Amino acid sequence: MSPKDAARGAVAGLPMYDWPEVHNAVDVLWSSISARLGVAGIDAPASVWRPSDIADLWDHPDLLVGETCGVQIFAEYRGRHEVLGVLDHAVDGCRPGEYRSVVVVRIDDPADELHDLRGRTVAINERRSYSGYGVLLSTIAPLATDGRFFGGVVETGAHRSSIREVAEGRADVASIDAVSWRLALDHEPAVDGLRILVWTEPAPAPPVVTGWANSGSREALVAAIGEASTLVDLEVREALHLYGFVPRRASDYDVLFAKQAAAAAAGYPAVA
């Protein structure tokens, strides 16, 4: 879908785990959702939109279905997005609808525990990400001294880029969304040079949302996404590590706000 086409009507996207290697699987999943929405009388776009700037999808005035980071629900998109639920990826140690991150270092790094990383350089994907940045606030806060723990920070723009930064020695540690880590194990050679130091605590997974203007169709949207994510071809579900769909509400993400507020209250508002 081109930007011009997107301007004409509703748009949809599932960008959180839409790596190039699984574009086809995401396309098939969306086609299944779109077909079910059509049966329900909802005029859904035939394909997902992949703008060069993901914010264009989130900010679109007629966002039918999108996927965002949980912290955005209580931040810039509060009152603008209605939470529908989460695509469940059956992350280890999590209940359905939850996820967590892996804190990774190079395979030959001598660190045994988090406190061994004091003064090191951390790679983060972006500061509005919970899994790659926000979770570090609550995980590292108890170890910080005068509001600091790491010696430097490199902002990479994506989990995959953070993996490469650590593997290639430009950073020492990164927090990687566990689903992205699975995709990296499938498709990113740089993971062979890394190991998991610790897992973070479970949290609500990235929400599938709709623009507030479409909130009246919530029931139909939830039903269509739920059916498609369960019944789409096994090959697609395996490529995306997809196990189903769990309905959620915006209030489920208050816990993320509370975690970050507690970290800030402890005097640790940033990783470096």
> Which tokens go with 147?
């509001």
Residue 73 is which amino acid? Answer: I
Terminal alpha carbon distance of the chain: 39
Report, as ranges of residue numbers, the positions in the chain whose pLDDT lies below 50.
4-7
> Which tokens go with 89?
């990826």
Q: Which domains does the chain have, with CATH numbers?
A: 3-93+205-259 (3.40.190.10), 101-201 (3.40.190.10)
pTM of the model: 0.92
Q: What is the pLDDT of residues 14-36, one digit of tens each?
A: 999 999 999 999 999 999 999 99
Q: What is the pLDDT of residues 210-238, one digit of tens each?
A: 998 887 899 999 999 999 999 999 999 99
> Which tokens go with 179?
């689903």
Per-residue H/E/C for 224-250? HHHHHHHHCCHHHHHHHCCCEEEECCH
pLDDT for residue 71: 87
pLDDT for residue 7: 46
Contacts of 229-232 spanning 24+ positions with Cβ under 8 A: 229/29, 229/33, 229/87, 229/88, 231/32, 232/28, 232/29, 232/32
Residue 12 · residue 42 · CB < 8 Å? no
Residue 197 · residue 103 · CB < 8 Å? yes
